[in-house]
Structures are given as structure tokens and as C-alpha cells.
Amino acid sequence: MAIFGPRANLLTKAVMLSAVPLVLFLGGLIWIIPVMNYTTHSQFAPPQPVPFSHKHHVSDDGIDCRYCHTSVEVSSNAGMPPTETCMTCHSQIWTHAPVLAPVRQSFAEAKPLRWTRVYRLPDYVFFNHSIHIAKGVGCNECHGQVEEMPLTRQATHMYMLFCLNCHTDPAPRLRPRDQVFNMKWQRTSETPPAEALLAAYNIHPEILSDCSICHR
């Protein structure tokens, strides 16, 4: 007596065929979910104690990045401005604006504002702002068009591939050092060739993908 009926083979094949798209779908989720903006926090502006606008301060008022991020040229950390820096202007303008109440309170109590970090790298990754600045890498290569952001957001994910794409081919991302903080800079016919900048900055792409460059 047969254990399986005549339709057993047909049913088995149908189940196996239906399992294929399910496996592909689950595999796709494993690949896609980690790089979604929701997961990487790209394009999301976290809440801050004060809704600071780079668009207003940089694009509209023309304030240089280094006015607030004073250590970006000499330290691994770009630095955050103390409240005294904010009050340099805001003791004269918008002095009683409700939106700036946390700034005034911070200044009066000598307690720094607690800003929410926008970019967060794993502890096992070493990143140095100063070396990138010294090698002619503009701010918006990593931070995007931050000068147009009403609220600061992460312009892109900071996965290893993002860094490696630049480290293996840095030439197109280099600019003259005096243009590093020019957020509107565009390459022109007068710009030194990428190869010349590589030589001038003593950059050797063949070693930039070594593990020890970022993992120390």
C-alpha cells in the first residue's frame, strides 16, 4: 500500500517552488535592512537642545566652519563650540529669542549645552579630522552639503565601504588646501590636476587600504 498519494509529488514541488521566492525575499532583507536610512540614521536630524541651522549660519551669514569647530585642523576631533562662542553674537542679536533660551541658561549657569551626536563611529574605528583637512579633503566630502541643512543630519552612512571608496581612489576628492572650507567649491580648469595634488600632499593610495590606517 502506497504511503503517499498520487498528488504528493505535485504538492512537494509546489512547496519547494514557493520556498524559493521566500528565501530570496529573506536574503534580500538581510542585505537591504542594514543599509536602509532608518537603520543607518542617514538623512535623519536628531533632536538638539537648540535647532541650530548650518544653512542660516554658513550660507546666509557666511560664518567659516573653523569659527565653531576650532580644533578641526589640529585634532582628530573637530570640536564643538562652547556657549561663549554662541554668545559672541547672540549677546547682541536675538538676545531674547525664546528659541535661544537654552543658550542663555547654559551661559548663565556655566554649563555646556549637551548636543546630540549626529555622526557616530564604532570604538574600533580611528578617524582624524586634521589629517583629512591637511590632505585637501573638503568638509562636504563626508558631511554632504551641510551648509544647506536647516537641521544637521547625517548625509550618508559611515560604513567601511564608504571610507574605502575614497581611500582606494582619493584623487577626485582632493582640492587645494585653501578651498577645503569653501562649501561651494567646484573644480575648474585652473585647479591643479588630481595627480599633482596627490604628489603635493604625499598621498599614496596603495597603503590607504591597510587595516592599520583606521583600526589601531
Task: Tell me what pLDDT residue 91 has.
Answer: 92
What distance lies between CA 76 and its chain's CA centroid? 15
Angstrom distance (rounded) from CA 167 to CA 176: 18
Domain boundaries, the chain: 11-40
Please enumerate in sequence order all residues whose Cβ is within 8 A of that of 100, keeping only pairs 6 or more positions apart, or say none: 50, 90, 94
Q: Are 42 and 157 in contact (CB under 8 A)?
A: yes
- The whole-number pLDDT of residue 150 equals 94
- For residue 150, what is the enclosing H or E element? none
* Per-residue pLDDT tens listing for the chain (216 residues): 556 566 667 777 777 777 777 777 777 666 666 666 666 666 788 999 999 999 999 999 999 999 999 999 999 999 999 999 999 999 999 999 999 999 999 999 999 999 999 988 889 999 999 999 999 999 999 999 999 999 999 988 888 999 999 999 999 999 999 999 999 999 998 999 989 999 999 999 999 999 999 998
* pLDDT attached to residue 41: 63
Q: Residue 197: what pLDDT?
A: 95
Q: Which of 183, 115, 186 minimizes the C-alpha distance to 152?
A: 115
Residue closest to 118 by CA, chosen among 57, 68, 65, 43: 43
Residue with cell 549657569: 109
Give the span between the Cα atoms of 83 and 110, in whole angstroms. Answer: 8
How open is the CA angle 134-175-171, to the nearest 5 degrees? Answer: 95
